[in-house]
Structure 1
Amino acid sequence: MATQTNRDGQAPVNPELQVLMHAISSCAGVAVQQILNQNPDLVKEKGWHGQTVLHRACLSGDCAMVRLLLQYGADPNATNDFLETPVHYASKRGIPSLVHILCQAGGNLNVKDKSGKSPVHNAAQTGSVYMLQYFEEKGLGFRDLDENLQSPLHCVCSFGHLEAFKYLLRKGRSDPRQADSKGDTPLHICVREGYAHGSWLLINYLGLACLHVKNNLGQTPLDVLKQFDASKKSGHTQLLPLLTELTSKPQNSKIQGPTQLWYFHLLMPTVVYAFAIFVAVNIFPNYQGLVFVVALVYIMKTCMKASHRLNHVSRWANPLFAGTFFAGMLHTMIVYYWTIPEHLPHQILLYLSIIFNILQLYLYYKLIAADPGVVRTGELNEKTRQPITIIDLCDKNSSMDLFCHECEHVRSKVTKHCKLCEICYYRMDHHCLFLLKCVAYNNHARFVWFLIETGFVMSMFLLQTYFYVTSKYPGKQYSTMLVDMFWDDCWILSMVVMHIFSIIWAVSLIKFQLDIVARGQTTYFQQKISTLTAVDKLFNIIYFLQGKAAYRTDFEFEDEPKNYPVQKPYPVQQNYPVQNV
């Protein structure tokens, strides 16, 4: 009698095996043990499409379950109907610890499925940099091709995994010129999928010649893109004018980033406000208020709509907020030394202003120019004194979260990677958009001093404008005086209003920072519950402002920062000016 089959043409699965599979999917370890104690041979049986219980456990991502099944004799190299082993499944989950357990049990990492895909291809499809780093530490390469001639980089481009994409480009791990069986390079795939930033990175990496490479259909990346123009996807919409412009240039031309756009955002607040002053003073002297209202509304509206990055496929950091802050400092100093001095009752106020301004500019320069506390390499293994690896984390069953995708090292628990600066910082507090710089271990105290100093400068400005107003508008009521200033002296009035709001913001920020410092913590690394007394907190603030370590803290910080040779976070040259600050 013929064996009964299902509609897929496969033999029915043992009911006991189905129960075991369900228990594994439910992570019911006790039930799995009971079933296997009664029938240990179930670990060798196969279910639908040749899947074993170890395949199912790997698909569930349960390390404890995988260990349990291996103890009962499960085969880490068993294949299903598609020639996929449990290592393939574990790689799809992107869990290095899972693959490490299989590897220790004899699992083969150099194995391919029916379509020619290796575990590295599966990790690339998932976008797990942890998994890719594990394979590299195990000596596996990233240039293997499947039956469609696709490398792991092709897989990453198809799914748009940015971190894995950057990882495979770094150190020449993958060949971005490799064409698949259809003649498509990774750039063709990025363009087809509307992956704008990835396309930009590839063009920077390869040069403009890559835009003229044709696939088997004779299509360049621009030809592929034009097929999707009608879809109006954001990625396709961004890429069309860029690729059209770049394709028309000579292939040996140097690729320029959005430098003009970057400088426009940086200088726009200063230039717009200066233009408003010129128009108000020289063209419409009796309607100054309207001119300044239009200028300020434009600047404020632009700032409110702005994000941390430029609206460009390069994703450069947006300098608009830094430009706004600089414009405020610059125009304050212009008012200080051009308009107000002749109305001051005592020259000592002018000298104090000069001193405060010089100190403010010095702190501003030091904040921009100094190293905030860059972590240049990873933590060291206590025994070997070598950098800790992903394999070390797997051996200790530690979390992979401390591995930095960009810098490719295992950082300490109080180190944070800044995505705008593209590097790790020790005891990071925050990334300051107004400085285009991170605030971390080396410049945190200087940053707080800068806030305090800026508060003094703004207070001095308001005091001096008080003398200016009482001198220029003697005997007038405030309501009448404000109306006159709006129409005839709005430059000063607008600066006063902005300084009032700025002081409120600065005081709240100083209060917040001192509260964090009082607990011996940072904005990013903090805990709400503190056992410190008021005296402890006071001494913490005093010690912090003196540049010393915290007097007492209940948060576990390390004693000293790490100073190792710098490690380039990304090989593609970044041309925007902020990198040179």
Structure 2
Amino acid sequence: MSSQAFRGPEETSVNPELQVLMHAVSSCAGVAVQQLLKQNPALVKEKGWHGQTALHRACLSGDGAMVRLLLEYGADPNATNDFLETPVHYASKRGIPTLVHILAQAGGRLDVKDKSGKTAVHNAAQTGSVYMLQYLEEKGFGFRDVDNSLQSPLHCVCSFGHLEAFKYLLRKGRSDPRQGDSKGDTPLHICVREGYAHGSWLLINYLGLECLHVKNNLGQTPLDIIKQFDTSKKTGHSQLLPLLTELSKMSQNSKVQGPNQLWYFHLLMPTVVYAFAVLLALNVFPNYQGIIFVLALAYIIKSAMKASHRLNHVSRWANPLFAGTFCAGMLHTMLVYYWNIPNYLPHQILLYISIICNIFQLYLYYKLITVDPGVVKTGELNEKTRQPVTLSDLCDKNSTMELFCHECEIVRSKVTKHCKLCDLCYYRMDHHCLFLLKCVAYNNHARFVWFLIETAFVMSMFVFQAYLYVKSKYPEKPYKTMIPDMFWDDCWILSMVFLNVGSIIWAISLIKYQLDVVARGHTTYFQQKISTLTAVDKLFNVLYFLRGRAVYITDFEFDEKEKQYPTQKGYPVQPAYPVQNV
């Protein structure tokens, strides 16, 4: 990073040697810094622009090695600049707990306030670093202290719209969301002013509807504030105005209701729309069946293409449209089959086979959506103390902070992933399945693949028996004339055949992909580019997996430095947590 990014007009009068040192620190030039300090050790304590020391600059750059080097040469971890900010303040602004941990080990104080009354906690909140907030909590700091403007860390988070830090401070009662600052603004007032719609929703759910009637020093409620803005300029404001207007009319004792109607509409819409098309086609417009089914399918497909993973609502609930579409496909396939096809089957045994296959398919589907996929609720254990590993332990080992899940507040293993839609951590997570509204992980991964295989088989059975139906009902017609006739007179079956054929192709490609991933001992999310497994290893992986056991060997633990796999072949890789087997 160039020193020009930090240099101001007053810096021209600074000691030239100090300017060179500052530039070397900002550029992370460790050798140059060592040479300068060996020639003039006093430089490490000199102050430059706005009272910054070289240690301030190193913390601002976020270079842990440079911070250690300067401390070795006698840098003062409690030196203050013109704003009474110490290197700890700078490190907390960067949101890097490792830097603060290094400073604390060197005697740096974590409780110092700057001129505005802000501590390291306030700076971490402004940055939105949950890692930094967690580290400070482990060191005994709370989140209810206020600065000179009477703002708590929660006020700071709301001003900048940091979602993860916002949820962290609300969790476990860490902050008081009712607290007002020097202007009388509560966190909700600030969220509304900044157009932070989702944060406002979370606060209203947390506090209840009475928070909408709290006034600041100007006598303004959150609704009064939102009315001052042009809602056409910011999405958050446009979402909040109708929401706050509606909620403000409700009794303060009423419970806040989520978008239940919208959620159920997306879930049931595909089934209902297609059922309505069936009723119209069979009973009202029997000669225009093709047009009716095309319009129904077009509407469902268009809705699915426009849909995202979450509802278009400030609650950000998971969108069930894809799950509803999948259920509609299964239901209507069974309906059209058992309603029309059995009378045309040459052998009744085909009907019995279909019934058994459907029952098994529904059983697997029920288990998939009800069985725990492999939720991880406790973190990794320290090998020596047998206590859960903390974020401070990660700082000691200089490990990546990403191992700490700021939602579940645990230090997870390298093959554990947090799902933002489920809001849970899963061991050996594969993916979040939108068609199941459920994650696929260690406990249900094998069952998921078996479900794909069973579903592909059921759909193939349906297509085959639909073929028998067509041959029996239209015995003498060629396909060129038969398909147009079915489009107008028998489109329910025709449409389901085309949908099932497309689904079979998709299911087979997905099964192939899943088995390929499993063969390498991976999951969809956790994959390595390099693999040295033999064909026999891969075969054993698939066999172990399909039997509901841990894979035979994995190369998750490939060591890029040593270029080798520490995992021994011949020993199934066991889970790091007591998750239930399949």
Name the TM-score class by shorter chain: over 0.9
CA gap of 1:329–1:347, structure 2 versus 1, over 3 A, is same
1:429-440 matches, cutoff 5 A: 429-440=430-441
Cα deviation 1:372-409 (Å, max 9, x = unaligned): 00001100000011110011011111110100010001
Q: State the partner residue of 2:66.
A: 65
The answer to whether the 8 Å contact 1:373/1:425 transfers is yes
CA distance in 1, matches of 2:308, 2:470: 38
CA gap of 1:283–1:167, structure 2 versus 1, over 3 A, is same
CA distance in 2, matches of 1:554, 1:312: 41
The answer to whether the 8 Å contact 1:149/1:180 transfers is yes
Cα deviation 1:337-373 (Å, max 9, x = unaligned): 1111101000000000000000000000000000000
What is the CA-CA distance between 1:534 and the residue it aligns to?
2.0
CA distance in 2, matches of 1:33, 1:517: 50
CA distance in 1, matches of 2:107, 2:544: 55
1:518-533 matches, cutoff 5 A: 518-533=519-534
What is the CA-CA distance between 1:230 and the residue it aligns to?
4.1
What is the CA-CA distance between 1:11 and the residue it aligns to?
9.0
What is the CA-CA distance between 1:9 and the residue it aligns to?
7.7
1:508-547 matches, cutoff 5 A: 508-547=509-548
What is the CA-CA distance between 1:43 and the residue it aligns to?
1.3
Amino acid paired to 2:76: D
Q: State the partner residue of 2:186.
A: 185
Q: State the partner residue of 1:132.
A: 133
Q: State the partner residue of 2:26.
A: 25
- Deviating beyond 6 angstroms after TM superposition, the runs of 4 or more aligned structure 1 residues are 6-11
1:245 aligns with 2:240: no
Q: Secondary structure of 1:261's match?
A: helix
The number of residues matched between the two structures is 560
CA distance in 2, matches of 1:136, 1:404: 15
Q: Secondary structure of 2:503's match?
A: helix
The answer to whether the 8 Å contact 1:376/1:563 transfers is no
1:11-160 matches, cutoff 5 A: 12-160=13-161
Cα deviation 1:216-273 (Å, max 9, x = unaligned): 1111111111111344311111111111100110001011000110000000000000
What is the CA-CA distance between 1:8 and the residue it aligns to?
7.3
The answer to whether the 8 Å contact 1:229/1:240 transfers is no
Q: State the partner residue of 2:345.
A: 344
What is the CA-CA distance between 1:40 and the residue it aligns to?
0.7
Amino acid paired to 1:270: T
CA distance in 2, matches of 1:230, 1:422: 31
Which piece of structure 1 moves more, 537-546 or 313-322?
537-546
Q: Secondary structure of 2:446's match?
A: helix
The answer to whether the 8 Å contact 2:231/2:237 transfers is no
Cα deviation 1:151-198 (Å, max 9, x = unaligned): 000110011100000000000001101111111110111111111110
The answer to whether the 8 Å contact 2:541/2:552 transfers is yes
CA distance in 1, matches of 2:346, 2:377: 54
CA RMSD of aligned residues (A): 1.5
Q: State the partner residue of 2:574.
A: 559
Amino acid paired to 1:246: L
- TM-score if structure 1 supplies the norm length? 0.95
CA distance in 2, matches of 1:479, 1:503: 24
Cα deviation 1:68-100 (Å, max 9, x = unaligned): 111111111111110101100000000101001
Note the residue ranges of structure 1 that are not aligned, 5 or more in a row.
1-5, 566-581
The answer to whether the 8 Å contact 2:11/2:48 transfers is no
CA distance in 1, matches of 2:10, 2:476: 100
Q: State the partner residue of 1:572.
A: none
Q: State the partner residue of 1:3.
A: none
CA distance in 2, matches of 1:127, 1:542: 46
CA distance in 2, matches of 1:85, 1:518: 53
1:413-452 matches, cutoff 5 A: 413-452=414-453
Q: State the partner residue of 1:273.
A: 274
Q: Secondary structure of 1:229's match?
A: coil
Q: State the partner residue of 2:476.
A: 475
Q: State the partner residue of 2:365.
A: 364
Q: State the partner residue of 1:284.
A: 285
CA distance in 2, matches of 1:235, 1:38: 56
CA distance in 2, matches of 1:528, 1:9: 51
The answer to whether the 8 Å contact 1:376/1:562 transfers is no
CA gap of 1:8–1:454, structure 2 versus 1, over 3 A, is closer
Q: State the partner residue of 1:387.
A: 388
CA gap of 1:117–1:509, structure 2 versus 1, over 3 A, is same
Q: Secondary structure of 2:269's match?
A: helix
CA distance in 2, matches of 1:419, 1:351: 42
Cα deviation 1:439-495 (Å, max 9, x = unaligned): 000000000000000011001100111111111111001010101111111101100
Q: Secondary structure of 1:286's match?
A: helix
The answer to whether the 8 Å contact 1:143/1:175 transfers is yes
- TM-score if structure 2 supplies the norm length? 0.94
The answer to whether the 8 Å contact 1:373/1:561 transfers is no
Amino acid paired to 1:562: Y
The answer to whether the 8 Å contact 1:266/1:320 transfers is yes
CA distance in 1, matches of 2:547, 2:232: 59
What is the CA-CA distance between 1:44 and the residue it aligns to?
1.5
CA distance in 2, matches of 1:10, 1:417: 46
The answer to whether the 8 Å contact 2:64/2:99 transfers is yes
1:482-521 matches, cutoff 5 A: 482-521=483-522
The answer to whether the 8 Å contact 1:288/1:487 transfers is yes
Cα deviation 1:25-77 (Å, max 9, x = unaligned): 01111111111111111111111111111111111111111111111111111
Q: State the partner residue of 1:221.
A: 222
Amino acid paired to 1:248: K
CA distance in 1, matches of 2:526, 2:579: 22
Which piece of structure 1 moves more, 66-75 or 292-301?
66-75
Amino acid paired to 1:398: S
Q: Secondary structure of 2:405's match?
A: coil
CA distance in 1, matches of 2:364, 2:9: 73
**Share of identical aligned residues, percent?**
81
What is the CA-CA distance between 1:330 and the residue it aligns to?
0.6
CA gap of 1:344–1:28, structure 2 versus 1, over 3 A, is same
What is the CA-CA distance between 1:333 and the residue it aligns to?
1.0
CA gap of 1:9–1:112, structure 2 versus 1, over 3 A, is same
Amino acid paired to 1:559: Q
Q: Secondary structure of 1:191's match?
A: helix
CA distance in 1, matches of 2:285, 2:230: 47
CA gap of 1:78–1:336, structure 2 versus 1, over 3 A, is same
Amino acid paired to 2:352: Y
What is the CA-CA distance between 1:332 and the residue it aligns to?
0.9
Amino acid paired to 1:52: T
Q: Secondary structure of 2:410's match?
A: coil
Amino acid paired to 1:458: M
Amino acid paired to 2:310: R
CA distance in 2, matches of 1:395, 1:320: 46
The answer to whether the 8 Å contact 2:8/2:49 transfers is no
CA distance in 2, matches of 1:553, 1:385: 26
Amino acid paired to 2:381: L
Q: Secondary structure of 1:417's match?
A: strand
